[in-house]
Amino acid sequence: MIPISEPLPTLAQLRAFLAVAEHLHFREAAAALRMSQPALSSAVATLEEILQIQLLERTTRKVLLTPAGRRVSAHAARVLANVDDLVADVARTREPFSGPIHLGVIPTVAPYLLPLLLPMFAGRFPRLKLIVQEAKTETLLAEVRQGRLDVAVLALPTDVTGLAEEPVYDEDFLLALPCDHPLARDDAPLCRDVLQGLDIVLLNQGHCLREQAIDVCREVGVRTTMTTYATSLPTLIQLVSGGLGVTLIPELAAHAETGTPFGIALRRFDRPPGRRIGLAYRATSPRGDEYGELAAAIRLAIRDENLPVRIIGKVVAEAAGRTARPHGEAITK
């Protein structure tokens, strides 16, 4: 790396030289840049002095590039193009809801929410370039803190210093069990104590849903000692369908995952356990207000789709005066 104390070419000098290289004429180059010919000549001469090499072969009638001048002109064109791209990109990001946004989503939300959100983002925020990453909570939080992700959709609260949170919705956990299970014969809300004595299958380590399910079990004195774990909700449902146990599943996922030929019963609890889903982003982010508006748009999309969750917070202006529609009882499929 060149020491900062060393003289370096300026962008103005590179633009001046590139104009001469393109026109091979000082007067025409000066006119193209709308500057005086002496100023242009001075800029090119200073560039040659800094680089310690002759870039132009000057005669009384024409200007030619030296071999070094041809190489420098190619470099200068790339540098100035990159600078122009930088300025244009920053100008776009100054406009609200434009430019790239790196969005992280946890695996127990992504398959069920993204099919709704992606077309909504494309239609409502067409200037946003959405870049999506699916990962477990710990990874997403690290990526947000380190600046590789802008915002993440995950379970709240995160309890991470330096992050701002925007709650979007609450959802209940349902008990998923095989259709031939004795508890599948009724549809009355269950007491959580029924978890005692049941074999409970879980997601593997790293999934926040696993920890949430374990917390529910601990509340009623159940120790989860199962050695069978799944890496995804679809696999978890198949384990339940195959008779390996029961599990807790978020209601939003339940309606998608249990519509399979394997036969799963869903039971609601009288005091439903659940989780809160929302956005998390760096509290210092200059786009914090935009993320709040994105959360409001997500709530509106969820409301319009009548998804089985309870919306938290405001929706966008179009939804003013509307009320959330209650979701129905999801019992057996």
The answer to whether residues 151 and 280 belong to one domain is yes
301's tokens: 């999309």
* Residues contacting 232, CB < 8 A, separation 6+: 107, 203
What are the beta bridge partners of residue 129? Answer: 100
Question: Domain end: 94, 112, 133, which one?
Answer: 94
* Residues contacting 312, CB < 8 A, separation 6+: 167, 168, 169, 170, 276, 278, 299
Q: Is 325 part of a structural domain of the chain?
A: no
- What residue numbers bound the domain in which 305 lies? 99-169+275-319
Q: Is 152 part of a structural domain of the chain?
A: yes
The answer to whether residues 177 and 267 belong to one domain is yes
The answer to whether residues 60 and 89 belong to one domain is yes
The model's pLDDT over 92-133, given as tens digits with 9 standing for 90+, comes to 667 788 888 999 999 989 999 999 999 999 999 998 889 999
Assign 46 a pLDDT band (cuts: 50, 70, 90): very high
Instruction: Tally the domains of the chain.
Output: 3
Question: Domain end: 65, 94, 123, which one?
Answer: 94
The answer to whether residues 163 and 305 belong to one domain is yes
Q: What mean pLDDT is reported for the chain?
A: 85
The answer to whether residues 242 and 281 belong to one domain is no
* Residues contacting 112, CB < 8 A, separation 6+: 252, 253, 256
The answer to whether residues 142 and 165 belong to one domain is yes
| CATH code: domain of residue 211 | 3.40.190.10
The model's pLDDT over 226-269, given as tens digits with 9 standing for 90+, comes to 556 787 888 888 888 888 888 889 999 887 765 544 578 899 99
Question: Domain end: 94, 119, 142, which one?
Answer: 94
Q: Measured between alpha carbons, how far is 209 from 275 in angstroms, rounded to an integer?
A: 9
The answer to whether residues 54 and 201 belong to one domain is no
- Rounded alpha-carbon distances, angstroms, from residue 87 to 25, 242, 271, 285: 28, 58, 55, 20
- Per-residue pLDDT, 103: 97
Give yes or no for residue 194 having a pLDDT over 60. Answer: yes
- Per-residue pLDDT, 92: 64
The answer to whether residues 104 and 243 belong to one domain is no
The answer to whether residues 83 and 163 belong to one domain is no
The answer to whether residues 229 and 292 belong to one domain is no
- Per-residue pLDDT, 258: 58
Q: What φ, ψ does residue 267 adopt, rounded to 5°?
A: -125, 140
